[in-house]
Structure 1
Amino acid sequence: MTDFKYENVWRPALLTSVAIPFVGLVVMFFAISTNTTWTTLTDVLRRATIGWLFATGSSVQQDGVTIGVIPIGFVAMWGMATYMFAHWAVRNDDVDFRAFGAVVAGFSALIAATLSIIVSNDDVAVPVFRAAFQAFLVPGISAAFAASHRAERTWLSLPERFRPAAEGAAATLMLFFSLSTVILVVLLATSLDESAHLWATLHPEGTGLGLALLLILAVPTAAFWVSAVLLGVPVNLGGSSYVSLAVTDVEIMPAFPIFTAIPNPGPHAHWVFFLTFIPILCGAFGGFVFRRLTHQNIPWKRCLQHSAGLGAAAGLVAGILIWTSTGGLGTGRLQSVGPPVFLTGVIAVVVFTLGAVLGASITHYRLTREPQRF
């Protein structure tokens, strides 16, 4: 077993914690200075800092309005960049991934909290706690995984007997959100003419690089809305507008191309009902993956326990991810959008657990009865 040295943690952790926000602020500074009107250097620096804090998951409060939806596309890029840089930073050090992740999380939270205090005033405020919490969570987890993988440890040194269940939970989530994204892409493709017309209206000169970037990074949030609908939960689009598997009831939406994916108002076709089987089939797939990765002679009771655990874990993670797509998008009726958080999480846990138990049970039966044919 590798003898990790805790004193080696500080240098790469501090480097990771400082480098990623610095690069992000530089990119945001360039984007804002070239695409907006500003008066002083202090003004553009403040805007860039607020933009960076919002892009990394913090909410922004202005004139009594809170924009709280987490831009999960930006957050995913942030986590990926942190992972890659941390993986490079520990290349010459034997570090304990737990200590490394904790130190990166602490430094990142301190930096985010300090920046939020500096840029907040009576006009625009960035809540300190949320900025610090997001900066604690995302870089900390990304850095811990990077150090763990650098040390050739999978699943953060999770005990061997639980790794098949972890693989099954990951398979469930990957399949579920991949199918949600495919459905979103199909909806966007069917409304391509409307999207093109809207794009031409917003940018008649043919440019719009910033809008294109925002559209791409908004796809994960929209995909999470599709995921909630697949779980049978209505997604609130502000005011009395909502989308569910049964019906769409919407008012006039803001001029943003991704909103063209919203189905036409009115009841949906009867075949849409079959989409409700997607979550339970994804859970069953996770159960299948789990059982195929375990020893052939595991007891039936252990198979049920671990499959139920992986389904519940996948449902909990799905609920947390879908929660990031809720909050405020602007003023008026857009102050609260997204699916109900608690209901979404409960349904995800129940459905994925049932699916995982079903998939693992069928696979267990086939493996024990006909191992040579399965």
Structure 2
Amino acid sequence: MSRVTPDQPRRAAGPTAGARPRARARPAARVPAPRPGEPSRNRAPLPVAAGVAALWAAVTSWLPVTVVLGLAQLSEDAGSPTGALRAGLAGWLLGHGVPLQTAAGPLGLAPLALSALVVWRLTRAGVHVSRAVGARGGGSPRQALTVAVAVGIAYALLGALGALTASAGGLRVSPVTAALTFAAFAAPAALVGALRTTGVWALLARSCPPPVRDGLRAGLVAALLLFGASAGAAGLSVATGGGDAADMIGAYRTGVAGQAGITLVSLAYAPNATAWSASYLLGPGFAVGTDTAVRTSEVSVGALPAVPLLAGLPRGPVDGLGAGLLAVPVLAAMAAGWLLARRLLRAAAEDRAEVGWRALLVPAALAGPVAGALLGLVAAASGGPLGGGRLAGIGPPPWPVFGVATLVIGVGAMLGAAATRSLTRPAPPARPPAPPRAAPDPR
């Protein structure tokens, strides 16, 4: 046996008997580069992606309506799956604001809870389509608009199909009106999702002037604060009239499941009641039929339908401690101005700078028309006919709500911002950097 020294390298051992020879390494397969203008294989075609996303948004918003209205129709001798499907389709169309022509007159009072669900699902549709076509993070406004238009067209076709199907059940629904209404719902909502997914939203936010950006944010905050206070006031009013509401629900004779469905239908109209309460607190009030008025200074209503949500209507003009409700819009506006000033002052304190009056009051004044526009749009969407005759006009007047909200919130936000700046200790000015010390002489 030979010894192996360090100066003699060991030779590679040859193949032993029965051992398989090592296979040669195969060259890596070359993937041909895509030609210019050729779509990538992992991207879905835009019509397919838009159609699937629109269909999924329609199904996820139609199914809850069908379940709720199916429960509302249940009783010992009435209710059927076919009737529940037709009622769900009609309610789904109504949630988009499509007017329904019935034997009792036009029905156009849309449940805003369902409308909010539809908008959310369509926003997610814009997100999914943007990802499917490979536009995520691209920063292209053209791609975002293309996605929004594709989703709008696909959803409009579904709306026309739903109108044709609902018309076969005794209702009269215009397919053209349904298609246009569905497109008006889908395109802006999908555009919001596409702008966020493609990154265009961030680019628009960075290019927007700071006073405008701060004013938009303050107006949105003021509107949300007023909506929250209005929801609390509406809920308290319904709670005080809970006995009447329970009697109305029990009068339907539909059993436990049917009464649960009627309660859920009333909850679907809770955002409408919140919008009416906001108009009531602002001053213009609202109507529950022709020649009726519900305001802080006047309550004039006639015979009302047996709707549990109407049990919370005020009995008369506001007096006593109830007059404090009139200060709610001003307080909401001042809170929005306080939050605006706190944020600007905090950012200036980090930079050892001072916030000028113009940089503070301009966004606060801009919050007025922003919040007024939001409140006016919600007021317009919360009303509509509930049949013919005296119930043809229900809801608050949009333009008076816009005007009063613009004035009240604009002035309140400016007062809140100015008071916050006056009561906040200014940040100390930045100290100039000390001059560098001279190096000592080594000698």
Deviation at 1:290, TM superposition (A): 2.8
Equivalents in 2 of 1:33, 1:281: separation in Å?
Answer: 43
Distance 1:370 1:299, change over 3 A: closer
Is the 2:293–2:299 contact (alpha carbons within 8 Å) kept by the matching residues of 1? yes
1:166 aligns with 2:213: no
1:228-261 CA-to-partner distances (Å, cap 9, x unmatched) read 1011013111143321112323223211211111
Equivalents in 1 of 2:320, 2:392: separation in Å?
Answer: 32
Question: Paired residue for 1:104?
Answer: 151
1:20 aligns with 2:54: no
Question: Paired residue for 2:111?
Answer: 71
Is the 2:126–2:192 contact (alpha carbons within 8 Å) kept by the matching residues of 1? no
Deviation at 1:355, TM superposition (A): 1.8
Among 186, 198, 223, the alignment partner of 2:236 is: 186
Deviation at 1:310, TM superposition (A): 2.2
Matches within 5 A, 1:47-58: 48-58=88-98
Deviation at 1:214, TM superposition (A): 0.3
Matches within 5 A, 1:261-280: 261-264=312-315, 266-280=316-330
Distance 1:205 1:14, change over 3 A: closer
Among 335, 343, 350, the alignment partner of 2:407 is: 350
Whichever residue aligns with residue 184 of structure 1, its letter is A
Question: Paired residue for 2:21?
Answer: none
The TM-score, its normalising length taken from structure 1, stands at: 0.83
Bigger share in helix: 1
* Deviates most, 65-74 or 151-160: 151-160
Question: Paired residue for 2:372?
Answer: 315
Among 186, 190, 209, the alignment partner of 2:260 is: 209
Deviation at 1:129, TM superposition (A): 5.7
Question: Once superposed, what is the RMSD of the aligned Cα atoms?
Answer: 3.3
Whichever residue aligns with residue 322 of structure 2, its letter is V
Query: What SS does the corresponding residue of 2:394 show, helix, strand or coil?
Result: coil
Distance 1:100 1:345, change over 3 A: same
1:231 aligns with 2:231: no
Is the 2:275–2:379 contact (alpha carbons within 8 Å) kept by the matching residues of 1? yes
Equivalents in 2 of 1:350, 1:144: separation in Å?
Answer: 31
Equivalents in 2 of 1:16, 1:141: separation in Å?
Answer: 15
Distance 1:167 1:156, change over 3 A: farther
- Computing the radius of gyration from Cα coordinates, the structure with the larger value is 2
Whichever residue aligns with residue 372 of structure 2, its letter is G
Is the 1:164–1:291 contact (alpha carbons within 8 Å) kept by the matching residues of 2? no
Question: Paired residue for 2:269?
Answer: 218
Matches within 5 A, 1:291-306: 291-294=341-344, 295-296=347-348, 297-306=354-363
* Structure 1 residues not aligned, in runs of 5+: none
Deviation at 1:286, TM superposition (A): 2.3
Is the 1:145–1:156 contact (alpha carbons within 8 Å) kept by the matching residues of 2? no
Equivalents in 2 of 1:134, 1:336: separation in Å?
Answer: 20
Is the 1:200–1:206 contact (alpha carbons within 8 Å) kept by the matching residues of 2? no
Question: Paired residue for 1:363?
Answer: 420
1:16-51 CA-to-partner distances (Å, cap 9, x unmatched) read 22222244445556666774768996x876655433
Question: Paired residue for 1:94?
Answer: 135
Equivalents in 1 of 2:242, 2:378: separation in Å?
Answer: 28
Among 188, 191, 194, the alignment partner of 1:147 is: 194
Distance 1:310 1:31, change over 3 A: closer
Query: What SS does the corresponding residue of 1:66 show, helix, strand or coil?
Result: strand
* Deviates most, 318-327 or 330-339: 330-339
Deviation at 1:199, TM superposition (A): 2.1
Query: What SS does the corresponding residue of 1:206 show, helix, strand or coil?
Result: helix
Deviation at 1:171, TM superposition (A): 0.9
* Structure 2 residues not aligned, in runs of 5+: 1-39, 137-142, 349-353, 429-443
Whichever residue aligns with residue 219 of structure 2, its letter is A
Distance 1:27 1:65, change over 3 A: same
Is the 1:57–1:72 contact (alpha carbons within 8 Å) kept by the matching residues of 2? no
1:62 aligns with 2:110: no
1:91-125 CA-to-partner distances (Å, cap 9, x unmatched) read 45324434323332233234324543564489633
Distance 1:358 1:101, change over 3 A: farther
The TM-score, its normalising length taken from structure 2, stands at: 0.71
Deviation at 1:335, TM superposition (A): 1.2
* Deviates most, 309-318 or 21-30: 21-30
Equivalents in 2 of 1:101, 1:16: separation in Å?
Answer: 11
Question: Paired residue for 1:124?
Answer: 171
Among 374, 398, 413, the alignment partner of 1:341 is: 398
Query: What SS does the corresponding residue of 2:395 show, helix, strand or coil?
Result: coil
Deviation at 1:85, TM superposition (A): 4.6
Question: Paired residue for 2:14?
Answer: none
Is the 1:50–1:126 contact (alpha carbons within 8 Å) kept by the matching residues of 2? no
